Amino acid sequence: MDLSQKDWTKQLEEDNNSVVLDVRTQEEVDEGIIPEAIHVDIYKGQGFIYEIEKLDKSKNYYVYCRSGGRSAQACSIMNQLGFKNAYNLVGGFNEWQGDVAHKE
């Protein structure tokens, strides 16, 4: 499901069963990541599906990429794999106004 930046952020803040999922490349993640996000690169193809399958399907996933395209695709894949709640951040990290973490 697509959510605007405002709705995605608000819903995430109120959700105590949430996981933030970054599906960008490692190079993109090195430039900054939404705090607490887990990273699984969608370009890994079957490797992406393998990593996603290990996640807890009872959680709500807040998914983002750079601009919203790959994360929409990731949400679709997750729905097919049996994840009920995957929310796509429209506009992606490019339009993110919240906190940004940098990995050491």
103 belongs to a structural domain: no
pLDDT at 104 over 70: no
Residue at 101 is within a domain: no
Domain count, the chain: 1
Instruction: Point out the catalytic residue in the list 65, 74, 75, 90.
Output: 65
Global pTM reads 0.96
Q: Are 34 and 93 in contact (CB under 8 A)?
A: yes
Query: How far, in Å, CA of 47 to CA of 49, rounded?
Result: 5
Name the strands in the sheet holding 38-39, side by side, starting at the edge strand that comes first in the sequence: 2-3, 86-89, 60-64, 18-22, 38-39
Q: What is the CATH number of the domain that holds 89?
A: 3.40.250.10
pLDDT digits (tens, 9 = 90+) for 11-30: 999 999 999 999 999 999 99
Q: Known catalytic residue: 75? A: no
Tens digit of pLDDT for each residue in 76-94?
999 999 999 999 999 999 9
The domain in which residue 16 lies consists of 2-95
